[in-house]
Structure formats: structure tokens, C-alpha cells
Structure 1
Amino acid sequence: MSPPETRGPLQVARRAQLLEALRHDGVLRVTDLSGRLGAAAVTIRRDIAQLAAEGLVRRVHGGVALPEFDDDAATEDVSAVMLSSGTRTVGMLVPSLDYYWPDVARGAEEAARELRARIVLRGSSYKSEDDRPQLIRLVEQLSVDGLIVAPRMDAPTAERTVDWLASTGMPVVLIERTATVGPHHAVVESVVTDHALGAAMAVRHLVSLGHQKVGVLLGEHSPTSPHVHRGWLEAITDCGQDAAATVDAQVPPRPAAWEAALDVVLDRCLATRTTALVVHADAEAIALVQRCEERRLSVPGDLSVVAYDDEIAGLCSPPLTAVRPPRRSIGRAAVRLVTDRLADPDLPAHRVIISPSLTVRESSAPPRSAR
């Protein structure tokens, strides 16, 4: 169990001022209290969370009220305050603004517009060791009402970042990530793609065409790759194929090093008579097809290829069969979780899993032996 919180004189005085403000006005928003008390919004939210745990205040539909305050009146008053002070603002931090994530952000913006909210987007980096500086700016400088975050879960600071997010007292939804906090491993709300299912769909498509050895090629250090690998392994095992008898490979993150790595993969395909590959992601799949052309190997004649991501797979020649994660739906669902949580802080935690889709194009066909 965590030790009890130590309260300093300033904290005690601030919470007393918060309670006095509520006694005067009945119901208030966090941003109003932040301005009145001269404290950051994240600090006010922590105070509210502690006071609510002690039964001294009650969080209601986007604000905070005294425990005896009437529910209907609280809802009406907070709604009026929200209309007069503008729309709700949701901060969104994603690892990249140039691949995969723009569609997630567009879905979030669409849902926010429908729900009369506003998205403030920030980009981090897969190279960043700590997402907290950007998150702190969103919370303390821009006073967002909730957060949608795709943090670096493989960074040394990941656990501290998730703990910090949980401590803000505001709605937080992770996208394409999952996490737990505290001694009881309480879940952080999340929206994720079922990437393992997507990989399994690709495998079963290839097996249905008659491929008896379906391999996998993954980009190193991608947070999606482990899920794709798990789905591939489970699916080929269920289909009676031997993972050790086919290709199970990775390519480095730098395109400059791909040629040698792809040659190793193609040599392994020829040696094991592997006739199909599931490849994550699109750039790696397209590079593989190009290397096949240079080596006079036909796609799909000698090797069928299914890409995972479908960002640009359809632009390849031949157009690639691909699994497409539901990027816009991920963003839309995350915004809805945040706004639902703002409306009712006592909702149970939600973990939303959304299925990807498979689009069959020209890069997958029956193997030559099955024709």
C-alpha cells in the first residue's frame, strides 16, 4: 500500500480555499479553480482527487461540487459554465506526425468536432527518453481537460510517465498502448488495435491460397512488431505449420542497411521453400518487392507478400495485399472515452480493442505448385 500523502502548509491552505470557493459557488470547473487559487490545473486535479477520496467533494459532469450539491443543478450549472468558457480541450501526444499517427489524429479531430471539443496535438519522438516535458506543457500551460497519449513504453522512464499520468486526476486514454498503475495494477484506459488478429488474418489468407510455408519479416524496434509476430506464430501453429522451418526475420530500422538484410531473407525463403511472407511495415514490404525485382524473383509468382499497415501499400507495383489498422477509429474511440470520463468520473475503466481489416490486392496468389 502506498504511504499516506504528506500535506504541507500551502497544500492545506489551498484545499481549504478550494472548499470555500465551492461553498460560495456550489460547483466549479478545474480551470476556474486554477485561476482563483493560482495553482496549475494538474495540482488542482490532485487536490480534487484527494478531497473526493475523503468524501469532502464530489466530481460531477465536468466539474467538482460539494457532496450535498444537487445532481441536476450541478449538471445544469457545469454545462452553463462550459458553454460560457468554451469547449473542452483534449491534449494529444503521439510519437510521430508523419507516419501512421496522422490518421489517428484525424479521427480524433472528427470525434472532437462532433462532441464540441477541441484537440491540441503534439508530436514526441520514438527517440525521446521522456514524454513528460511535452505532457506537462499540455497540462500546465494549455490547461487541457483530458489527455490522449501514445507514450514510449520501452523507455527507462515509461513507468514514471504512466504514474505521472495517473496522478494528474484528469481523464487519460492510452492509444496503441496498455498499462497498469499502483499496487493493485489498476488499468489505465486504452484503445488499441488487435494487431495479433490482423497478422493472423494475413496468415489465414495466404494459407487459404495454398501456401504451406508462411514466414514473417518485421521492422526492428517497432512497438507493433511483437504483436504482429505473436499473431503470425499463433496462426501458423494453428494451421499446422512449423515456425522453425520457415522465415522468421527482422530488418534494421535504417533503410541504408536493408539491402543486405533483405538478401538474407530472400536466401532463406529459397532455402526453406517459403512461398509467402507477412511483412511489417509498408516501407519494408515495398523494399522487399523491389529487391525481388532486382533478383528476378516474381511477386506474387515466386513469393506472395502481405504488408501490415496499408499506409502506402496500394501504391506499390504490384499493389500489395495489406492489413490495415483502424487508425481513424482508434482516434475517435479515444476522444469518446475522454469525454465520457469527463461527463461521469465514476465510470468503470474501459479497454477498447478494435479489429483491423484485410484488403486483397495483386501481391498474393496461390503458389506455383498449387496452380
Structure 2
Amino acid sequence: MTESAGGPSPAPLPYERRAQVVDLLRRRGVVRADELAAELDVSVITIRRDIALLASQGVIRRVRGGAVMEGADERDAPVVPQPATLAGRRLTVGVVVPSLTYYYPDVIRGVREAAAAASARVVLRGATYQADDERRQLAWLVESMEVDGLLVAPTTTGEEGEALVRWLQSAEVPVVLLERAATVGPLREAMESVVSDHALGAAMAVRHLATLGHRRVGLLTPAQSPTTAHVRRGWRQACEELGLDLTDVPDVNAAGDAGRAAVLDEVLDACLASETTAMLVHSDPETMSLVERCQLRGVRVPGDLSLVAYDDEVAELCDPPLTAVRPPKAAVGRAAFELLAARLAGGGAERPAHRVVIAPRLMVRSSSSAPR
């Protein structure tokens, strides 16, 4: 915060600060990130984010340690990005996700980062994986908060889920789905969506294990997770493509927490009986429970059984730290906001529906190694 004759003056808004960055570049040609941070009284991280955003918009060019302005005269100087607005007012986006404690906090963080860069407002609501609750939250955002658009991870299956998708398709404001994909109408037209490529992530895990020398890779998933179907598809496709033997390999889709210890024992028994030496497990808590069961039974991880977790929320905190597939959660949130903002900026019915798929990463740690 800077001082003025009348006391402290408010810090500039993000778009105003980025305008200052561009102005300094025009006058100097090149600037260092640390110098900009000191001059504008913000953190170096904030300046680096500003530089990254301006570079992605073609306004400036990033260089090691800072940024440069391409040579240009006044007539073709780039336009400084302005805050996202609609009808001359600040853009407000409603967000509804099924959990505020697991998986979705990082998605929300991505939405917030993109919204902050555009000086837009985010109104968040948490739901409970129930279509009727999600519809109530969404209706409140549209009717009471008068949001300009919606980002939502809705229930899409079953009669209630299908009804919710139809409601979203006919909503008064644009909608982008988070980590969900859906089609509507007799032609099965796609709704706009941003998703992680979970099938690819599962296939990456299988290929990693196969590269280590594992020829039998099992799977354990929770029946109630919307991600399960994609993980199972990627696991099976990769096993078949690599020629891995699935005969008697554990393939368990467990329902709920009831009898978890018995399910884990059945998985371990099946691994020993079929000589399965590796497992892909969704998600982190289930994988950690399997590690604990292995320790109780004297099964060494990774010596006797290599494990790869899917989600990477807390996988690194396990003993041993878990190799894990990390979905691009924050990137999903950022891309979804940008997609919604682009829809609101114009194009209307002429703009085709966008379906964005973002690849996950494999984080290799200590729970996977070559089989004995």
C-alpha cells in the first residue's frame, strides 16, 4: 500500500497493476521480476503470475528473470487486458461442487486464480453428491445471487441426474461442467465441460508398472465415485494393449466403507493366489488402508506388492510415500473459468461448444519398484 498526502491509498486492482507492468515495459523495454515487485509493492510471485498471464495473451514476452516488450510503435501497441465485465458491471460466477474438503479445493483454487486475474467475483456453494441438493444450490445462485454464469460438478447419472442436466442445459445463464461431461437433446449435443483425462492417468500408472517389469496389475476402486468408470476403462485398455495377463488378477469395485478390512484381505489373498505384483488403487485413503493391511500381514510394499494411488491428495504423507496419479485439478478450475468468460464475452449460439480435456501427471515415489 502506498502513502499519499491524505494517508494510505488503496492498492491497485490486478488489472490496474498489470497495466502498470505494461507501461513500465513500454518505457524501459525490459524489466526484472524482482525490480517490478519492489516498485509495485507486491510479491515476486504475484509479478511472475502477471507476466505469465500477459505473455499468454501475447502482450509481452517472458525471459529468464523478467519480461521484455516487443518493439512496437503507438499504433500497434498491445491493448492492456481489462477486468471481465458484462453489461458494464463486474462479472459474477457461481460455483457448485460436491465436496469442499476433498479433491475440489484445488479445483476451486484454480477458479479463484483465474477469476482474480479477471477481477471477477466467485460465489461458492457446496453440495452433497445429490442431484436435488445440487439443483437447489444452483437455483439459489441464479435466482437470488443473479450470477452471470455457472461452474458446476453435477450428478449426471440416474433419473435425477439426467433431469438436472436438462435443467442446466435450459438455464438462463451459461454453464460449464467441472470434471463431468454430458450430452443433451435428441442429437446428444455436448455441454461445455473441462475434465481431467482420468482414463489416460490410469493407463499411465499401468505403463509405469509394466515398465518396471510387472506383468499382473490389479485394480481396486470405490463403487460410488464418478471417477471410477474412467479409471477402470484406462486400466483395462492399457493392460490389454500391453498384453498383461488379467486371469484371476484382483479387479474389485468396493461399495462403501462397510467391511473394508475384509475387502482388503480378499484383495491381498487374490494377489498372492494369482501372483499379482502390483495394484492401482483409487483413491489415496483406500491405498493407505491397503498399505496398513499389508504391514499387518507382513506383505512388503513395494517389495512384495507395488502400489500406485489415484488422486495424490495425501499420497506423499504415507509410509512409504505413494507413487500416485495427480489429476490437474487447479488447471481444470482455471480452464473452466476462462471457458465461461469466453462464452459470456460473445459469440452466442454461433460459438461451438468446447470440451476441454487436460492430462494428469504421474508422481513416482517409493511405493512402486521392480517385482522380486
Is residue 2:170 matched to residue 1:167?
Answer: yes
Please point out which of 333, 351, 365 is paired with 1:361.
365
Q: CA deviation at 1:154?
A: 2.4
Structure 2 vs 1, CA of residues 198 and 83 (structure 1 numbering), >3 Å: closer, same or farther?
closer
Q: CA deviation at 1:219?
A: 1.1
Moved over 6 A (4+): none
Q: CA deviation at 1:185?
A: 1.8
- Within 5 Å, give how 1:1-371 maps onto structure 2: 82=85, 86-127=89-130, 129-254=132-257, 256-344=258-346, 345=348, 346-368=350-372
CA distance in 2, matches of 1:128, 1:167: 16
**Which amino acid letter does the alignment assign opposite residue 220 of structure 1?**
A
**Which amino acid letter does the alignment assign opposite residue 245 of structure 1?**
D
CA distance in 2, matches of 1:165, 1:129: 13
**Which amino acid letter does the alignment assign opposite residue 236 of structure 2?**
L
Q: CA deviation at 1:84?
A: 9.0
Give the alignment's TM-score, normalised by structure 2: 0.75
Aligned pair count reads 289
1:269 and 1:275 in contact (8 A); partners too: yes
Q: Percent identity?
A: 55
| SS of residue in 2 equivalent to 1:131 | helix
Q: CA deviation at 1:81?
A: 12
What's the Cα RMSD here?
1.8
2:84 and 2:91 in contact (8 A); partners too: no
2:152 and 2:175 in contact (8 A); partners too: yes
CA distance in 2, matches of 1:81, 1:225: 36
Q: CA deviation at 1:128?
A: 5.0
Structure 2 vs 1, CA of residues 184 and 84 (structure 1 numbering), >3 Å: closer, same or farther?
closer
| SS of residue in 1 equivalent to 2:220 | strand
Gaps of 5+ in 2: 1-81
CA offsets per residue over residues 128-177 of structure 1, 9 Å max, x none? 54521111000000000000011112242112211111112321001111
CA distance in 2, matches of 1:367, 1:82: 57
Gaps of 5+ in 1: 1-78
CA offsets per residue over residues 238-261 of structure 1, 9 Å max, x none? 11113233111123322x521011
Give the alignment's TM-score, normalised by structure 1: 0.75
CA distance in 1, matches of 2:185, 2:367: 47
2:86 and 2:344 in contact (8 A); partners too: no
Structure 2 vs 1, CA of residues 155 and 134 (structure 1 numbering), >3 Å: closer, same or farther?
farther
2:301 and 2:320 in contact (8 A); partners too: yes
